[in-house]
Amino acid sequence: MRTIPYWRLSSFYFFYFAFVGAVSPYWGLYLQSLDFTALQIGVLMSLLQVMRVFAPNIWGHWSDRLGRRIPIVQLAALGSTLAFCGVFLDHSFWWLFAVMAAMSFFWSASLPLVEATTLSHLGEHIHRYGRIRLWGSVGFILVVLALGYAQDVLGIAWLPWAVLGFLAGTALFARWIPEAEVGVHATDQHSVATVLRQKPVWGLLLACFFMAAAHGPYYTFYTIYLVGSGYSPSQVGWLWAVGVICEIAVFFWLPRLRDPVLLYRLLIGSLLAAAARFTIIAWLPGSGAMMFLAQTLHAITFGVYHASALALIHHYFRGRHQGRGQGLYSSLSYGAGGAVGSLYAGWAWQDFGGRGTFMLAAACALFAAAVAYYSRPFRPAVAA
């Protein structure tokens, strides 16, 4: 019977997403406290995504040549922790640009390789993925709530120390993840280019690019937008937490689905829900009830979206292509798409304000739904 290193994988996910829970909601506020402009904040936040365009493929190539993933994960986790220490030395724009670029180059390597390792450990038991990944959501929830209340009392100047602690946690628990054997698959003789030429595959990656771009304003300016609308940091923390709490249930049942036709339908539905969510945020930021409703949609716009996209990537990229497929998914969607989203958010925020910026996000999500609908797979005809 296959032994799954449940707690060792779960602990890594916990600290990885604890870092995300500190940076995504609050790092923009920290940068604002240093008197950076909206465009500068957008540029600095985009570095977390820009490096995901190139770094996962570079690290993935080294991993393929080495024939092992975990040593690369360990090196990347340690490198990101050491690079982040530079934030304590200077607060000038170009210094933080260099520090965040270096940190992001290492940080972006970890998750695609750990995802591929987790799926390899699970084998045919992919439905158990959610029980491991949910600990990442737990880490995010606990951190986003704790830091929100802490900022009400202490302010935000100490945030970098919390972030450093979470990065150190990923470096520590990366040491305990066991290597997974990469199984042989019938498609191993095919090139990655052969897989990418399939319309459902390139359509999936393109739709994911625009979905990540749609989230650029959310991850860069959502907290700033709500604080500017009269919410306290702790209230904003609860709104962030509500979204992630709602996603946890999705990770339990959705990975059981393997039919690509049904998974694509769920993907399209999540993209349409994202367009509705960002429209609500754009027009009704002053309504606590509507912001709560918008955050409950996170169960669909992230939970359903990520689980269905991950399952589709796993379906189309098998065997020795699994790590490369995860790298492409990360670099083209969260990397390129996220970088474009953060950059246009910084530009739009200055010229169009919060409402116009989030409406651009809704338009990106709607376009992603159109791309996914066009490229969706159809069931083959049943033989007579």
Domain ranges across the chain:
8-181+190-375
Cα separations (Å) of 82 from 51, 108, 181, 232?
17, 14, 30, 32
> Distance from CA of residue 361 to its chain's centroid?
16
Q: pLDDT tens-digit profile of 79-111? A: 999 999 999 999 999 999 999 999 999 998 888
pTM for the predicted model, two decimal places: 0.80
Please count the residues of the chain: 384
Share of residues in the chain with pLDDT > 70 (%): 90
Residue 286 CA, distance from chain mean position: 27
Residue 257 has pLDDT above 60, yes or no: yes
pLDDT recorded at residue 256: 64
Can you give the pLDDT at residue 128?
78
pLDDT by residue (tens digit) across 281-329?
Answer: 999 999 999 999 999 999 999 989 988 898 888 788 866 666 677 778 8
Please, what is the average pLDDT of the chain?
Answer: 87
What's the CATH number for 8-181+190-375?
A: 1.20.1250.20
Q: Are 171 and 27 in contact (CB under 8 A)?
A: no
Region of poorest pLDDT, from 1-15, 332-346, 362-376: 1-15
